[in-house]
Structure 1
Amino acid sequence: MQKSSKDIITFIDYTPALAHHFGAINKQWIDDMFVLEEIDKKVLNEPQHYIIDKGGKIWFAQHPKHKVVGTCAFISKGEGVFELTKMGVLSPVRGLKVGEKLLHHVIDQALSMKVKTLFLLTNAKCEAAIHLYEKNGFVHSTEIMQTYGQSYERCNVAMKYVGYGKIIKR
């Protein structure tokens, strides 16, 4: 079956004009399952300062009909180490595989950036997301949990990217 143009997701890099989407999309998914923590509020209200200006990246998924529907960021932890964070998709388009397409895009970006370590922090309640990460090259990591897990109160799962055919240097 051929894809129609209404199914095509495109990806765009962060600009200050898109900052409100970053906050709104992430607030929606965090509020659905958790409580916004102080660190969330800071990062979501000032992504330029907390992510971009510190060497990180933010991407957006855009749907032809629904416009900006998803986002994901890399926060630089220094020396080629990045946290994949603030990945969210608006509820009206969940089920269209936007999250998976966005994850593939950001992993490809990590590979092109020659990221040494890519990790994420999440919560066991996010079962669908954890499954998505596992099938796309992330493994559970005690080392990442010990090093970075205290960043969020809700964090009880830490994962590290080891590749799906392409291995990032560990």
Structure 2
Amino acid sequence: MEKQLDIVPFKPNMAKAFKELNLDWLEAFFSVEPHDIELLDHCEESIINKGGFIFFAKIGENVVGTFALLKIDSGIYELGKMAVDRSFRGQKIGQQLLAFCIRYAEKHHWKKLVLYSSTKLSDAIHIYEKYGFIEVPLEVGNPYLRSDIKMELNL
């Protein structure tokens, strides 16, 4: 019998899991940048205390995925720091996190979700498009060196 995936909000004792999942993902696909270190080492101060949110995907007691919503402006949030444990990839956990994120934003009457990604991650880009994100011009000085695409979802 397949275990249920639960999506739960951040608790301070989960900060280590947030960091470890993201470091594993970053090291597998890219490299860890200074902006990543700031967000991961101080997630409560740099995300939660600034009006953002962090959620976790759990199967039983195992944390198998995460994502953050970083507040940009009133009703506008950046979807970032999405990662799934490598032993659980390919099970559509990322899509479940993305769907939850969109429902959460709609429930709170937000205007827009923004994300930065890399065209190297063609599967991820395809999934974002499937959920309604569209490519928009990437501003100069975006926060991530690895990002060569910016996408938005107007809600």
TM-score by length of 1: 0.87
**1:10-68 deviation line (CA, Å, top 9, x unaligned):** 0100010111111000001110011100000010011000000000000000013x710
Aligned-pair distance for 1:131? 1.0
The counterpart of 1:74, out of the listed 65, 69, 73, is 69
Amino acid at match of 1:112: K
**1:93-151 deviation line (CA, Å, top 9, x unaligned):** 00111111111111111111111111100111111111111101111111xx227x621
1:39 aligns with 2:32: no
Alignment of 1:1-170 (within 5 A): 4-6=1-3, 8-64=4-60, 67-142=62-137, 145-146=138-139, 150-162=142-154, 168=155
User: How many positions carry a matched residue from both structures?
Assistant: 155
Q: What stretches of structure 2 of length at least 5 have no aligned partner?
A: none
Structure (1 or 2) with the greater helix fraction: 1
Give the Cα separation in 2 of the matches to 1:125 and 1:5.
32
TM-score by length of 2: 0.95
Give the Cα separation in 2 of the matches to 1:27 and 1:51.
17
**1:70-107 deviation line (CA, Å, top 9, x unaligned):** 00010001222110000010110001111111111111
CA RMSD of aligned residues (A): 1.3
Give the Cα separation in 1 of the matches to 2:109 and 2:115.
17
Identity %: 34
Give the Cα separation in 2 of the matches to 1:99 and 1:63.
13
Q: What stretches of structure 1 of length at least 5 have no aligned partner?
A: 163-167
Amino acid at match of 2:108: M
Aligned-pair distance for 1:5? 4.4
